[in-house]
Amino acid sequence: MATHARRHVLPGFKLSLGFTWTYVGLLVLIPLSSLFLKTFSLTWPQFWETVTAPRALAAYRLSFGASFAAALANVVFGLLVAWVLVRYRFPGRSFVESLVDLPFALPTAVAGLTLTTLFSSKGWYGQHLEALGFKVAYSSVGVAVALTFIGLPFVVRTVQPVLEDIDADVEEAAATLGATPTQTFTRVLFPAILPALLSGFTLAFARALGEYGSVVFISGNMPLRTEIVPLLIVTKLEQYDYAGATAIAVVMLVASFLLLLVVNVLQRWSHRRLEARPGA
């Protein structure tokens, strides 16, 4: 039987693969390789002393801790926002849809100034929170708030299409079979949206790790207390300590890559588990 080559709209595999490697090499591999090459100007003891200095360790703890807390908060509240936008029709829905995307378009420095103004001791939110004993601006809580702000769209826009594909009849069928709302969510909805939630968490977490503009104002930038890793790198660059800055950047790069790798493995596992379910 005669075979016919499959025609594609875009160029064939070899040309596409060559373009992919060239594009990724020029924009990702070569810049990251230069980062490692600059770090090699340090000896191993110098590198270890730089990346394990107390100021650097405090910055790692704050960056990773606040990014994790912000991504986790966005998973919970992003799911609720996506659920409301998909399942309900209400006046102003289009306006809320636009507001969700605002952190994508808003300059991060503008977001940082706005959040700092709101949560300062004389701000609309901050004056009431400080009266209750909660200090947000110029604390680690403020860092988490800024990272939550910039990460929300990643979760909403990842989960929303999946929820749209799940017919409301599925929930009604589960209810007619005697399932409680909790059982419907945990046994019907949650397994279906878990891969999307993990993807949203990954994107929000990765975005928060590298965030600078929205955090630099609200954090107060106090070494050992509210200084994030990107700011520490900038500080070292301003002090002409280029090797020290690249050493810390390499640590962040490796740690971020490993974390993203773990989350991607979890995503594949959840996809396979979902496909293996009866009726999937």
Query: According to the model, what pLDDT value does residue 277 have?
Result: 62
pTM listed for this prediction: 0.84
d(C-alpha 67, C-alpha 219), whole Å: 13
Angle of helix 242-275 relative to helix 44-51, nearest 10 degrees?
70
d(C-alpha 271, C-alpha 9), whole Å: 29
d(C-alpha 232, C-alpha 216), whole Å: 11
Q: What is the largest CA-CA distance in the chain?
A: 81
- H or E element in which residue 275 lies: helix 242-275
pLDDT tens for the chain, 280 residues: list them. 444 556 666 767 788 888 888 998 888 888 888 888 888 888 899 999 999 999 999 999 999 999 999 999 999 999 999 999 998 888 988 899 888 888 888 888 888 889 989 998 888 988 888 888 888 888 899 999 999 999 999 999 989 988 888 887 887 788 788 778 888 888 888 888 888 888 888 889 888 988 888 888 888 888 888 889 988 999 999 899 988 899 999 998 888 888 778 877 877 777 776 676 655 5
Query: According to the model, what pLDDT value does residue 198 have?
Result: 86
What b/e string do you get for 112-131 counting C-beta neighbours within 10 Å, with b at 16 or more?
bebbbbbbbeebebbeebbe
Say if CB 205 and CB 67 are below 8 A apart: yes
Nearest by Cα to 152 from 84, 194, 204: 204
CA torsion angle 6 7 9 12 (round to 10): 80
Query: According to the model, what pLDDT value does residue 4 have?
Result: 52
Query: According to the model, what pLDDT value does residue 70 have?
Result: 94
